[in-house]
Amino acid sequence: MDRPRTALVTGTAAGLGRAIAAALAREGYDLALTDLRTDMLKNTLAHSDIAKRKAVPIALDLRSQDSIAAALAKAAAELGALDLLVNNAGRALLKPVVDVADAEWDDVIDINLKGAFFLSQQFGRHCIAHGRPGVIVSMASTHGMTGIAGRSVYGISKAGLIQMTRMLAIEWADKSIRVNAIAPTTVMTESRQQLLSDPKAREAALSRIPTRRFATPEEIAAAVVYLASPGAASVTGHTLTVDGGLTAV
């Protein structure tokens, strides 16, 4: 019998990360569920779909090289060879350029870009060492493709993630490691529902989206499943927009 497919997913304590983990569990993946907030992973582990698979909670601080190496090593020790990495964890910052502090810049870039790069590096090393193909899917954003006020550092980090996707895809193509990204519009997670509870803020966000609707976590998770699937075997170096036409304007 073939062994189960395996995935390491970052930022799985809630929201989009939990939805991605659940979708992968339904596809038959065993999971390494990582987050800095390990106390919240119990809710993810209890999800009805995830509970049917082997799921290992792992503490991960993307700002720490030691934590990154330890998380990958533990995931491989618990699950065996890893097939998929989903770089989902991220840090947002809503602040005018003139008010951004040095520490805030470092925090966003270290988590969204530097951490994703070095975790991808560890995953690539793992696949190459085992002589196995692999897939990386990173969560970018339409903010990395279009301009918007107040989100400069976040947008810069996501633009870097999109370029990282291209670079890694080219470098690892001959190793059968596919690297792609997803750029969603606003995803209606629990935390985003709270932020958009004000009608004016909600209308301002909707006004930028031609379809006049926000994405759901399940829609983004479905895109991850596609990019990880054999049906996407020829897709690499690509950023898939799931944005209701926002970047088409």
Q: In whole numbers, what is the pLDDT of the chain averaged over residues?
A: 96
Instruction: Say whether pLDDT at 5 is over 90.
Output: yes
In sequence order, the β-bridge partners of residue 181 are 138, 239
Task: Answer whether 88's CB lies under 8 Å from 31's CB.
Answer: no
pLDDT in tens, 200-231: 989 989 999 999 999 999 999 999 999 999 99
pLDDT-derived band at 1, boundaries 50, 70, 90? very low
% the chain with pLDDT above 90: 92
Provide the residue ranges of all domains of the chain, joining segments of one domain with +.
Answer: 5-240
Point out the residues that are catalytic: 154
pLDDT-derived band at 190, boundaries 50, 70, 90? confident
Cα distances (Å, whole numbers) of residue 64 to 29, 69, 107, 170, 233: 27, 9, 11, 26, 32
pLDDT in tens, 82-134: 999 999 999 999 999 999 999 999 999 999 999 999 999 999 999 999 999 99
pLDDT in tens, 161-180: 999 999 999 999 999 999 99
The secondary structure element, H or E, covering residue 34 is strand 29-35
Per-residue pLDDT, 170: 98
- The amino acid present at 33, given as its one-letter code, is L
pLDDT in tens, 22-39: 999 999 999 999 999 899
Pick the CATH number of 5-240 from 3.40.50.720, 2.60.120.260, 3.30.43.10, 3.40.1280.10: 3.40.50.720
Task: Answer whether 159's CB lies under 8 Å from 145's CB.
Answer: yes
